[in-house]
Amino acid sequence: MGALDFGDPNRPVDVVFSHANGFNARTYRTILAPLALRHRVLALDLRGHGRSTLATHAEGRSTWTDIAEDLLALTEAIDARNIVLSGHSMGGTASLLATHMASERIRALVLFEPVILSREAAELARKGPVNSPLADGARRRRATFASRQEALEAYRGRGAFKSLNEAQLEDYVADAFRDRPAGGVELACSPEWEVSNFVSHGHDAWSALLAPGPPVRILRAEHGSTCASLAAADTELSAAGRISMDQVNGATHLLPMEHPELVRFELERAVETR
């Protein structure tokens, strides 16, 4: 797995952060790097993204369990203890699933716009791939460019990239592509793998939410939230005793890019709360 390591390498890791589908660790560099003054943060490239070289097998795939298992393997490899798992979108959900599998190393979860379907939609998703307009867009996505600069110019101000500032966009493009032997660059996260992540929702995020475990902090967007379905279940989730949720007014699904100071505040609070 590829990773960016922010902070003193001689101290234990405080936070492991995982990105959204189709993005990469470097996209969040300007958001997370300031935390290095006091804490150590690992930002991961998940399977099929960025600089990670783990194999991808999209055919027949139905859950994000493989990504959650990668997170568990990472925590074991670095012998992480008492860490905060955090993530955006798919990365947040994978962090939740990983903690449900083995919570003894995790002190808290901080999730930004995790992808959690309503119970009705989740039940349908366990029966087969979901229909997703995001998947349709990923299928049409251009996979190769003459250079990273050409890709940068093509992405600037368009689609999901409208929420990224220039530094975030440049960082995204830097690790979103790999050099091709014949020249030019191609997406590190293939359209097929991005589609697989958009349609594979057979995992059980609700059981992970409601089971005993460490504290869970969820921030969701006001507009286009992938976590909006939780609103109707606030009472039940609050009764679980370990979950707190807030809506960020004005935010979209790309909440971390739009509110980096809030990301840092929540992560610092999770690390420093004893």
* pTM to 2 decimal places: 0.95
Number of domains into which the chain is organized: 1
Please indicate, yes or no, if residue 96 is contained in any of the structural domains.
yes
What's 251's domain CATH number?
Answer: 3.40.50.1820
Domain limits at 63?
2-128+201-272
Please indicate, yes or no, if residue 48 is contained in any of the structural domains.
yes
Please indicate, yes or no, if residue 91 is contained in any of the structural domains.
yes
Please indicate, yes or no, if residue 245 is contained in any of the structural domains.
yes
Q: How does DSSP assign the chain, residue by residue? A: -EEEEES-TTS---EEEE--TT--GGGGHHHHGGGGGT--EEEEE-TTSTT-------TT---SHHHHHHHHHHHHHTT--SEEEEEETHHHHHHHHHHHH--TTEEEEEEES-----HHHHHHHTTSPPP-HHHHHHHT---EES-HHHHHHHHTTSGGGGGS-HHHHHHHHHHHEEE-TTSSEEESS-HHHHHHHHH---S-HHHHHHSS-S-EEEEEESSS-TTGGGGGGHHHHHHTSSEEEEEETT--TTHHHH-HHHHHHHHHHHHH--
Q: What is the mean pLDDT of each run of 10 residues along the chain (274 residues)?
A: 96 97 98 97 98 94 96 94 96 97 92 91 81 87 97 93 96 98 96 96 91 93 83 58 89 97 98 87
